Every structure is written in C-alpha cells, then in structure tokens.
Chain A
Amino acid sequence: MPESEISKALTARAGDHWCALPLPRVRRVIHALALHPLPGASTEIAGLAEVDGEPLVVLSLERLIGAPPGPAAEFPVTLLVEAGPEHEREIVGLAADEAGDIIRVDEAAIVGPSRGFVRGETRRDGGIVRMLDPSHLGKEDG
C-alpha cells in the first residue's frame, strides 16, 4: 500500500474561511501593507503596495475565494507568495485577515472538486480548510 503523500502548508483566514497555501510557495508573511489604488482593476485586486523598494500587486484572498465576511481582523497580514506556473513564478501579495499555523496535509485527504485556485478541502480541528494552489492563480477557472 503506497504511503500517503504529506505536504506542509501555511494556514490563513480570509473572511469566514480558513485556507492553506503550500509552504514552498510562501515567501514571507508580513504585517498588512498600506495599499494604494489600482484604478480599473477588478475587485480581486486590493491594491498596490511597496515592499523593500519593490512594487507589489496585492489581491484580496477573501474575494479570490468568495469567502463571506468573518470576524474582524485583529492582526491582518499580507502573504507574499509565488504565483503562476512552475516555470514562470511571480511574486504577488495576498491580503488575509490572519495567518495561522504551518500544518501537515495528507494529500489523499483533500476532497472536493478542484476549481483552479481552490484545489479542494480537508478537515482540520473540526473545521474545513480550503487548499489553495497558487500555480492556478489568475486562470479562468481559478
């Protein structure tokens, strides 16, 4: 019997949903950045920011996954993640309401239809964690 594939992921809350991002794709977790408007962008883009002298496009994780509003964010964060296909990774920011723990995920326990950026769900501590796939960020089904 083949062993389950275990991966590590960082959890984060967006609105009322807990999500998890594959740890190899997470570059940094920083306190929520000051955002500036990007006129003409869709609502998924929360704004533009500056990090260490570099420009950064920041997306709203809550809007990306369609999460309902949740508890007020006491410690909002911006997650710097590597998005896009494997051979063409680009750094983007994801605005989240809070960062959680690093968890171990049994790939065999991820269920539900993959919808691009949301690749499925798994159960953790009595709740549901939505597994995200940054390689599909921005695709039509993601």
Chain B
Amino acid sequence: MSTAPSGRRATTAWLILRRRGGLFGIRHRALAELTGSRRLELTGGESVVADELLGLAVGLESRPFPRCLNRFFPETVFGLAVWQDRPVILLEAGAPPPECLRTASDSSEKADDGDEIR
C-alpha cells in the first residue's frame, strides 16, 4: 500500500538499484551497510539484493502508487518517481521490501538488463 504524499519534493537521498528489470529506490538513511557485494543491509534488519547499483538520487518527486491498483501489486511501497527518464519504485522505510528484492540471487537467474519491455 502506498503512503507517499503526492507532489512533495524532498531532500531525501535515494540509492537507486536495479533488480529483475525494475528500478528501486532505497532511502539513504535506511541503509545500514553496503557490503561491497550486491547485498544491502537495511537499518530495520532486512537485507535486499540488487542486480546493479546505479547511483544516488536527490530531489526525487514522489507520487503515490495508485490505491485502486493495490490488488495487482500488493507490496508496501513509499511511492513512484522518475529518475533519468525512467520510473522508479521508492521503498517504504521500515516496511518489508518487495519479494523480488528479498529473494537471493542464484546461479539459475538470468541477467536482466532492465531495459524497455516494448
């Protein structure tokens, strides 16, 4: 369920990462440790796995995830934003990260360059 206030440009810094083709943003202050691998430890004790760390973004303007579509995407997220002309899913601090970020990468996973579907 989205919780972002709409249209607020915050000074929060977001670490942008790619996972299974999607772009995700994690609040910089929610990070406990970057291990140097693709696993990130969060302050709430969760850890997430990234396919690639893309950079740090400041000044993202968040929009709520449409509530009417929660049935199709039941993850708890802070909202949506655009970074370098691409949509980003901003994660809610303190909430369990989406399943695709919690699943450990294994050797059977294909590399996904995250480019356009069409």
Contacts and interface: CB of A to CB of B under 8 A. Distances in A.
B87 interface: yes
A79 B82 CA distance: 20
Interface string B90-112: 00000000111000000000001
B21 interface: yes
A41 B99 CA distance: 10
A71 interface: no
Interface in B1-56: 19-23
B10 to A, nearest CB: 16
B22 A92 contact: no
B87 A49 contact: yes
Contacts of A90: 64, 66-69
Interface in A87-140: 88, 90-92, 137-140
Contacts of A54: 63, 82
A84 B2 CA distance: 15
Contacts, number: 102
B78 interface: no
Q: In the complex, which of the residues B19, B72, B82, B115 has the most CB atoms of chain A within 10 Å of its own CB atom?
A: B72
Q: In the complex, which of the residues A36, A38, A53, A85 has the most CB atoms of chain B within 10 Å of its own CB atom?
A: A38
Given A34-B118, A37-B117, A55-B87, A84 B22 contact: no
Contacts of A34: 116-118
A4 interface: no
B59 to A, nearest CB: 13
Nearest to A91: B66
Contacts of B82: 50, 53-55
Given A45-B69, A90-B67, 20 more contacts: A34-B116, A36-B86, A37-B20, A38-B22, A39-B19, A39-B20, A39-B21, A39-B22, A42-B71, A44-B72, A55-B80, A55-B81, A57-B66, A57-B80, A83-B68, A85-B68, A88-B67, A90-B68, A138-B70, A138-B71
11 contacts: A36-B114, A39-B19, A40-B73, A44-B72, A46-B117, A55-B81, A59-B69, A84-B67, A88-B68, A90-B69, A137-B68
By Cβ-Cβ distance, the 10 closest A-B pairs, closest first, are A37-B21, A84-B68, A48-B87, A55-B80, A39-B100, A138-B68, A90-B66, A39-B20, A55-B87, A35-B117
